[in-house]
Structure 1
């Protein structure tokens, strides 16, 4: 629909108007003039630059996701930020003394809410969710005594949430505050709410377990994401376990995050009574000693992700929960208890381990010896960061026959584990922050399925071995922040599948690739130079490689090259300014060159 009917404004007795989704209608402002009895107006996803001044009886106004059609070649819809400034100031200035609900959500260009919004003395609900560029809300909003609910979901640019009145709450982030009279906290204000996301912080201020029970969290069937957080190192009014026992989420919950929990054991409902749970996150629980998973909802339930961070005392008891992705950080006992946890429940282990395809372990240096890896034969991704000895048992590592992606990072690692070259399915390998490593293992030449190799912050590696040319499946080679790297092998020319090459911050590197002896012979016999780089190359990036003074001869042979980036490489400036070079580079579709 492009236009509203003529004389639309003659509907003097109209109380309810919904134009949501009519984003092609022009002249909405003019059509609304004269509708003085309106109480409910929904203009979500419409075009609007001004609102008539005579809509003084409005009780509900939805201006969510407004658009302004911009006629351009792509047909993109957008809403200009300066238009928003005019509209919000005008909306908050006109006499909307009866307004109870104002929805300004999903207006990405809106940066500020004017002070005049405080004149809406009956405003009950203000929804600013999804206003990603919103920077400030007036501090005086606390003077709006009628305000009960302020929705601020996904307001990423908001530096500070203003202090609200004692009877008002902000959602989805709710901060528990102890009552001034010493009798109760403000947690009870959550009782009438039912948001899709809820984050409750400063739970240490809850005065009694009865307060938690009174909000009837289990009955809030709209909640799909819930975060419960205590502040570490402060006194509590209620024991954490007693409080958490009363905060049973609804069965609809999909994502649960618990932070700062201070007790030694969980109540039974964690995972056990949440049949729709997909993701579980446990963070900063220094005293938690046991998580008994015997209360599981059944062997068929598979979580998408389990994250355990900063739980050093935690040991798991019962069958290991099934999860596609495990992330363990600073929680040594979790790993050491896995082997016992799985072996003691053999019926569950045969199925639970196979569903896990991604595993990330960080800052766990306990005596776990990696023996538990044998229980995860289905792993396709493994990340090991700062976990000490990686030698492990060759027999166990060989069981990782499905591993396709591996990330290794450890500042104290002196050499790469020998088993690294014995992963037959490996396709992507990243070695990061391993300054003690001086060379790549000889048996890595066996990684014939490797498609991507990244070396980052490995400052002691001075040369890449000649056998690199044997990795014939390699499509991407990236080396960055390797101050000691002095050369790349001429055998790179044999990488006929290589499509992308990235060299960043390799100060000691003097040549992109040295001329091969074969190249020199060609030049002598046929008077034309062949490129020292494979002709399959589509993308080449050189950045902050100050030692490189010239390009390999034969760059004109790189007929598949579509992207070339040369930035902060002063030694290549003279080469780039040659007329012959300019002619060669002219055919490359996209170039970024600056010094």
Structure 2
């Protein structure tokens, strides 16, 4: 291994084991430390991947995330740590035996569990060049915290839940890389602009920031700036155009920005610009068209209605995302984007202009766009000319006539074709021309009668997705295609001649996802044994489905006992399992499947106990659906101490027999603790008998739907009677389809910020307990027969009020205009239309009136975030009526 590559590899030891390392972050840290030249970054990544020293992360990408992430095997991490030797320290401040300061040769440090009580200068040597914080809470550092570390090149706070930047950071004149997400400062401090060598700055998720300093332009060397989800920023400073070295600018989620400065066009070296979810931006400035080096432009969810006429000047543009935009017309110059490879028009209907001239295009997404069949037919010549297309997505376009798809047969380079959720009955025979096609998605094409016989000529096919299609298509696919092509979906069929099933054909498969349905057709246990599911180490997602009430050849418990998944499994779903108890490996699930992050148990008609899921260390999501014989959720699900350390999302639905849920359990010191300590989102739906005791669970989002006994049990318990004292954490509460008359449960939720009441026909007035909700920002009423009380104006924190289909509300209370913080009023009530003429309404930032069911008329308006201090009228009255 070359010396430069060796040091780049060994530096990766600074990240904790199991950490998902962003490609950009890693390369920029190598550059900041002088290990490599910028041009070598991706080459070194490829070499480390080739040697398996880095592995592509299996963590699913979030929406809009295109950045590659990598992990290191624990043994490889140990090797990197060994190579680093004394140059790297990992300091656990909580440890009493911490000897980090004595390592005088240390140049790179990772501080874990930092709690603000120990001076950093007592933990770290003064010549440290890279410092990472991990597994730490909010940091409130002293003003001089970093004054000792004048050699710092890299400072990474990404492992903290928040940070208030101390002034001593301004003294770090050698600093080139700073990651400080979720900073608590209200304004980015002026001292930050003294970091004259700073090349990389990441402030992701810093919603508290309201402004950037006017002297921002002094950061001459800045090449990479991440302001994503800094939603409090209302404008960019005038000096922003002085950042001439800028190559990467991420402003995604900056919803407070309403206007881009013309000086943005001065960033002539810019290659990557992300404006996605900048919902306040109405216009893209013409100056943007001067960014001749721009390769990536994301405008998803921007509200601008026009593209600049000179957009075609971006001759180096390769990636353009215009999904969920309001643009309806493509300028004439659009056809000059001849280097464009990726175009996303999802949920975006172009009424004028087409894609003529974009002959280099390799990826095109026109899903959810509502194009008429005539539109596709009229532009069939243009579509036929897109011969370099590799990916075409026409999902949910309501296509009925297969003739609209005749152009597809000419796209001979196509590799991935998504036609799911359409209405056509047949596919064109020309699909057999697509020799390079490897994935054909036909999911939920419920009108599809048959597959074209020519599909067997598409010799490159590896996957045909047929979930939600008529069952006969699976049988037809079996005769036309190799069985593996329908994977991950596999239907078990019994062979009456041989007394076996077709399960054996999966023996040679080792895929990442399997959904095996109709397991009742397995004839012999030996078939499941030969499958050797345990050895399929690529398998991450497994769904096992039996058909309810169908005849079985084997006991479900016996068959499940032979289908032991590999330890690599992340996601497990069981549906239709009809045995009253579980097999051995499921009852010892934490031993057999220690890496599970999600488990779903669905439609288990005779099961009366749940497996001990509490000891699964990485479990994050649990779904319990239609298990009628389970009557309690109690300690047996724990499996021991320290249960559910990461469980964040629970859905309990259609549990007709569930009567009791003990939300707390005795802790080690005898004090009651919450059963699920990390719970974030809880949904309880259609559990008519369920009662919670002794108090509501501790979670951020709580949804109660068609489960009135849950509400009754909370109404009956006073807050003072809780045996488990804790700061209230629920900030969002949804109550849906309740027949209760009172809803006196708000004393349990004093920290509520969002409240939605939907389909509550017996609620004649809003509960008085709501008056105590001093943090409530958003109130949504939907299909409720309640009246609005005068005391609603006492909830002075209210910023958003939505009234939809509440037909008994014929007027707004007079005192509602006293809600001085109200910035959004959305009304979908014909009876209230006259209120659009009220003078005080014109002082609101965002007002929308819709008639009948024209909900879409105000959705875009209600998404906007008003700039600080700006209460100018934005008044939209919709006269669109439902047909």
> Is 1:444 aligned to residue 770 of structure 2?
yes
Q: Residues 145, 206 of structure 1: CA spacing in aligned structure 2 closer, same or farther, 3 A cutoff?
A: farther
Checking the alignment, whether the CA contact within 8 Å between 1:493 and 1:534 is kept in structure 2 is no
> Is 1:180 aligned to residue 496 of structure 2?
yes
Q: Residues 347, 179 of structure 1: CA spacing in aligned structure 2 closer, same or farther, 3 A cutoff?
A: farther
Which position in structure 1 is the counterpart of 2:389?
Answer: none
Partners of 2:468 and 2:577 in 1: CA distance: 26
Checking the alignment, whether the CA contact within 8 Å between 2:409 and 2:433 is kept in structure 1 is no
> Is 1:567 aligned to residue 879 of structure 2?
yes
1:28-62 residue CA offsets vs partner (Å, 9 max, x unmatched) = xxxxxxxxxxxxxxxxx99xxxxxxxxxxxxxxxx
Which position in structure 2 is the counterpart of 1:405?
Answer: 732
Which position in structure 1 is the counterpart of 2:477?
Answer: 164
2:598 to 279, 301, 309: 279
Which position in structure 2 is the counterpart of 1:394?
Answer: 718
Max Rg structure: 1
Structure 1 position 355, deviation (Å): 0.9
Structure 1 position 276, deviation (Å): 1.9
Partners of 2:461 and 2:531 in 1: CA distance: 16
> Is 1:195 aligned to residue 511 of structure 2?
yes
Q: Residues 568, 512 of structure 1: CA spacing in aligned structure 2 closer, same or farther, 3 A cutoff?
A: same
Partners of 2:488 and 2:757 in 1: CA distance: 39
Checking the alignment, whether the CA contact within 8 Å between 1:304 and 1:325 is kept in structure 2 is yes
Which position in structure 2 is the counterpart of 1:257?
Answer: 573
Partners of 2:667 and 2:658 in 1: CA distance: 15
Which position in structure 1 is the counterpart of 2:749?
Answer: 423
TM-score by length of 2: 0.46
Checking the alignment, whether the CA contact within 8 Å between 2:438 and 2:460 is kept in structure 1 is no
Report matched runs for 1:30-69 at 5 Å.
none
Which position in structure 2 is the counterpart of 1:458?
Answer: 784
1:152 to 454, 461, 464: 464
Checking the alignment, whether the CA contact within 8 Å between 1:188 and 1:211 is kept in structure 2 is yes
Partners of 1:243 and 1:287 in 2: CA distance: 16
1:485 to 803, 809, 815: 809
1:178-199 residue CA offsets vs partner (Å, 9 max, x unmatched) = 1131511111111112222211
Which position in structure 1 is the counterpart of 2:98?
Answer: none
Structure 1 position 499, deviation (Å): 2.0
Partners of 1:178 and 1:451 in 2: CA distance: 58
Which position in structure 1 is the counterpart of 2:799?
Answer: 475
Report matched runs for 1:502-541 at 5 Å.
502-504=826-828, 506-509=829-832, 511-512=834-835, 531-533=839-841, 535-541=843-849
1:162-182 residue CA offsets vs partner (Å, 9 max, x unmatched) = 513468321111111111315
Which position in structure 1 is the counterpart of 2:110?
Answer: none
Checking the alignment, whether the CA contact within 8 Å between 1:497 and 1:536 is kept in structure 2 is no
Partners of 1:70 and 1:159 in 2: CA distance: 40
Which position in structure 1 is the counterpart of 2:539?
Answer: 223
Aligned residues: 459
Secondary structure of 1:244 counterpart: helix
Q: Residues 158, 348 of structure 1: CA spacing in aligned structure 2 closer, same or farther, 3 A cutoff?
A: farther
Checking the alignment, whether the CA contact within 8 Å between 2:427 and 2:452 is kept in structure 1 is no
> Is 1:243 aligned to residue 559 of structure 2?
yes
Q: Give unmatched runs, 5+ long, in structure 2.
A: 1-317, 320-340, 345-353, 366-378, 387-404, 855-869
By relative contact order (CA 8 Å, sep 6+), the higher-ranking structure is: 1
1:85-120 residue CA offsets vs partner (Å, 9 max, x unmatched) = 57753578xxxxxxxxx9732567999754366699
Secondary structure of 2:660 counterpart: helix
Partners of 2:734 and 2:679 in 1: CA distance: 17
How large is the RMSD of aligned CA atoms in angstroms? 4.3
1:361-404 residue CA offsets vs partner (Å, 9 max, x unmatched) = 112122x5320545x3x311111112223223123678671111
1:544 to 852, 860, 873: 852
Partners of 1:258 and 1:489 in 2: CA distance: 51
1:189-219 residue CA offsets vs partner (Å, 9 max, x unmatched) = 1111222221111111111122112122222
Which position in structure 2 is the counterpart of 1:496?
Answer: 820
Which position in structure 1 is the counterpart of 2:390?
Answer: none
Partners of 1:437 and 1:312 in 2: CA distance: 30
TM-score by length of 1: 0.66
Partners of 1:114 and 1:510 in 2: CA distance: 50
Checking the alignment, whether the CA contact within 8 Å between 1:177 and 1:186 is kept in structure 2 is yes
> Is 1:355 aligned to residue 678 of structure 2?
yes
